[in-house]
Every structure is written in C-alpha cells, then in structure tokens.
C-alpha cells in the first residue's frame, strides 16, 4: 500500500518571500512600468517646483524659510511612494483576485491567505519605494536636501508604502467591477492635491484644516518634509504612529477578507 504524501505548511517568512519573488520575476521584464512611475513626480518637480517656484519666494517650515522647490520636493517624494503602492495594490490585485483567480490557485499549495496578504502588501510597498529612492537621488543631485536627517526619508517612504498598500488592498477586496476604480481616483486625486504637497496646510482653516491633517498622505508629506529639511517636530512622531497603525489595520482586514472570499 502506497503512502500518500502531504505538503507541510511553509514557514511564515518563507511563504511571504515566495510571493515577493513571484512578483519580481513577473515584473522584471516590465521595467518600463517602474520608469514611468518614477518620471511622473520628476515632471511635477520640474514644472511646478522649479517652474512655478520662480514666481514664489518660498515658504516657512517650522521656523525655517526654504525655496519653493525644496518645499514641493518632499511632498512629491511621499506622493511617489503613495502612487506606487496604490497602483500595485488595487489594479493588479483586483485582476489576480477576480479575473485571473491566481489566489485560488495559490491556496492549492501550502501557501495561506496570510502569506498572500503579506506578500502582496510588501511587494506594493517595494514598488512605491523603488519610485521614491530614485526620486530621492534626484533631490540630492539637484541640491534640494540639506540635512543628514534625510537618510531616514527612504525608510519613511517604506512606511508610507506599507500603509497605503495594506489599506488599498483591503479596499480592493470589496470591488466587483472595473468601474469601482472611479472611487479610488475620487480619493487619490484630492489627497494628492490638498495634502500639503504644493502649499502649506495653513491655507485651510477650521474643520477643513483638521480634515486635511487627518489624511494619511498629509502625514506622509509632513514626515518626508521634516526629514529632508531637518526641521523635526513632534508631528513626525505622530505621522509614524499614524502610518504604522494604518498599515497594521489594513493587513488585518486583508487577511480576514481573503479568508472570507477564498476559503468559504
């Protein structure tokens, strides 16, 4: 009588590593996607930060007066991590989940829904970080960074990518058609425009200002701007705590939603 062999479960980090490796192998021939994601914030920096900056003397950040380009650049740094994580954790995850049925196939292996959640979130985080590290290099080359605190700007973009990747993947699990992505755009564009990226939050007053300060991209912009300018305040600590809590909450929701969708 022949014994039936069963696959043993993978260790937590091993399963996550396999998901990230799978995405790397898939995307390494599609490097142009990463190039376009990097160029978009660079174009904004040249057109608005430098072009419009010729007409604006600059702004004050925590008591330090800085040129307009130095004000806009860290905002675009945070936005690049935001956009990269959002794109990978919405469009790509939706296709894999609803059309390709890739996650159903993965669950026929020793992989679990927790492995899928962690692997996809980390990959979205890394995609956003790839945009950010290249943009940060452009900032250094252009002389827009004057503080050694800026070495922490890259870890800050990893945190931004983690927070948005987790929450956006969680939201994607409730989508049923491509038309639902209009709702993502409805959230993405206002956050990009009004999260202190191009002008100080002091332009708003009352409840509107509180609403802006409560948005996750604003917290990321504050963190990157304070690190690159060296003008750190307690707001950076608030931003770190906010983004960590946001990412962990998103991860928890994703795991439960994948269990509901794929295991029941």
pLDDT tens, residue by residue, 36-64: 777 777 888 888 878 887 788 778 787 77
- Confidence at residue 5, expressed as pLDDT on a 0 to 100 scale: 39
Distance of alpha carbon 127 from alpha carbon 121, whole angstroms: 10
pLDDT tens, residue by residue, 136-193? 888 888 888 888 888 899 999 999 999 999 999 999 999 999 888 888 888 888 898 8
Total length of the chain: 264
Which candidate, 79, 264, 260, places its Cα nearest to that of 170? 260
The model scores a pTM over 0.75: yes
Tell me what the pLDDT averaged over the chain comes to: 86
pLDDT band for position 2 (cuts 50, 70, 90): very low
Torsion angle in degrees (nearest 10) through CA of 197, 86, 15, 111: 160
* pLDDT attached to residue 3: 40
From the list 186, 12, 21, the residue with the least C-alpha distance to 90 is 186
Residue 196 belongs to what H/E stretch?
A: none
The Cα–Cα gap between 229 and 60 comes to 11
Whether 240 and 163 have beta carbons less than 8 Å apart is answered as no
Q: For residue 1, is pLDDT > 50? A: no
d(CA 70, CA 225): 9
């Amino acid at each position: 009588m022949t014994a039936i062999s069963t696959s043993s479960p993978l260790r937590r980090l091993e399963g996550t590593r396999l998901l990230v490796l799978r995405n790397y192998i898939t995307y390494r021939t599609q490097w142009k996607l990463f190039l376009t994601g990097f160029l978009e914030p660079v174009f904004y920096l040249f057109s608005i930060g430098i072009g419009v900056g010729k007409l604006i003397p600059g702004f004050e950040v925590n008591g330090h007066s800085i040129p307009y380009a130095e004000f806009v650049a860290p905002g675009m740094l945070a936005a690049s991590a935001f956009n990269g994580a959002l794109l990978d954790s919405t469009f790509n995850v939706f296709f894999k989940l609803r059309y390709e049925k890739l996650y159903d196939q993965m669950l026929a292996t020793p992989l679990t829904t927790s492995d899928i959640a962690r692997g996809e979130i980390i990959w979205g985080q890394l995609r956003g970080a790839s945009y950010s590290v290249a943009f940060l290099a452009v900032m250094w080359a252009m002389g827009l960074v004057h503080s050694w605190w800026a070495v922490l700007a890259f870890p800050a973009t990893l945190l931004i990518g983690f927070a948005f990747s987790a929450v956006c993947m969680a939201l994607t699990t409730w989508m049923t058609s491509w038309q639902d992505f209009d709702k993502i755009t409805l959230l993405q564009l206002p956050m990009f425009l009004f999260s202190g990226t191009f002008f100080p939050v002091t332009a708003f007053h009352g409840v509107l200002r509180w609403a802006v300060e409560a948005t996750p991209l604003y917290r990321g912009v504050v963190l990157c701007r304070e690190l690159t300018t060296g003008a750190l305040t307690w707001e950076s600590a608030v931003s770190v705590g906010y983004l960590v809590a946001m990412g962990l909450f998103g991860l928890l929701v994703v795991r439960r939603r994948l269990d509901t969708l794929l295991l029941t």
